[in-house]
Amino acid sequence: MKLQQLRYIVEVVNHNLNVSSTAEGLYTSQPGISKQVRMLEDELGIQIFSRSGKHLTQVTPAGQEIIRIAREVLSKVDAIKSVAGEHTWPDKGSLYIATTHTQARYALPNVIKGFIERYPRVSLHMHQGSPTQIADAVSKGNADFAIATEALHLYEDLVMLPCYHWNRAIVVTPDHPLAGKKAITIEELAQYPLVTYTSALPDVQSWILPLTAQG
C-alpha cells in the first residue's frame, strides 16, 4: 500500500468518480490512476469502487470506510510535513482559508492585509463558496479552516469556534408603517414584502420559515 494510491482514491471521489478529470487535476495519466486503484483493491482483496464497464459508478460500503481512513492518513501526513516545515522555516509555509463571499468581501480584507504584512513568506490561499461548500473543503482537507456566519452543524468531524456575534436588523423607510415601532412581531413582519439573503442558507431558513407559515 502506497500513499500515492490513497491519494488517488481520495481524489477520484473528490472528482465525482471521473478518472479523466482526476488525472488532469493531478497532472498524471488516466491509465496510471486506474492501475494504481486496481492494485490497491487487489492488495486489500476488496472493491473500493463499483464499475460499469470501464466507468466507476459508485463507492462501495467498504470503500466509503477506506476513503474516510485514507483522508485521515493523508491529513496526518500533511500535518507531519507542516510540523517539519515550521521548524525548518518558521516564517514560511502555506495557509488555505475557505470562506463565504460576505466574509471575504467585507470582514477579512484588513485582517488579510495585516497577516501578509506580518508573515510575508507565508503563501495565503482563499477559497470562496457557500457554507456547505467551505465546510466540505475543510472536511476533505482542502482547507485549513473555514470562516462562515452560519452554524456548520451537519459536519460532526469539524470543531466550531465562535469568532464574533452579529444581530439581524430590519431596515425600512422613515414613512413605513413599521418605522415607529419599538418591537416587531413575526405576524407584523409577514404582512410586507421582504428582501433578504438567499433562503438556501441554513440560518436564513430558520427565520424565513416562520414568516412563510404566517402567510
Distance CA 80, CA 97 (A): 19
Pair 68, 116 in one domain: no
**Stated pTM of the model:** 0.53
Among 34, 64, 84, which residue terminates a domain?
A: 84
Q: How far is CA 76 from the centre of its chain?
A: 18
Q: pLDDT band for position 101 (50/70/90)?
A: confident
pLDDT at 10 over 60: yes
User: Are 25 and 95 members of one domain?
Assistant: no
What pLDDT is recorded for position 153?
67
Residues 76 and 23 in one domain: yes
The string of pLDDT tens digits covering residues 104-154 is 888 889 999 999 999 898 889 999 988 888 888 888 788 889 988 776 666
14 plus 42 within the same structural domain = yes
Q: Do both 136 and 106 map to the same domain?
A: yes
- Owning domain of residue 125: 89-147
Contact 15, 28 (CB under 8 A): no
- Reported as a single tens digit per residue, the pLDDT across 22-65 is 999 999 999 999 999 999 999 999 999 999 988 999 999 999 99
Q: What's the number of domains the chain is made of?
A: 2
Asked if residue 195 is part of any domain, the answer here is no
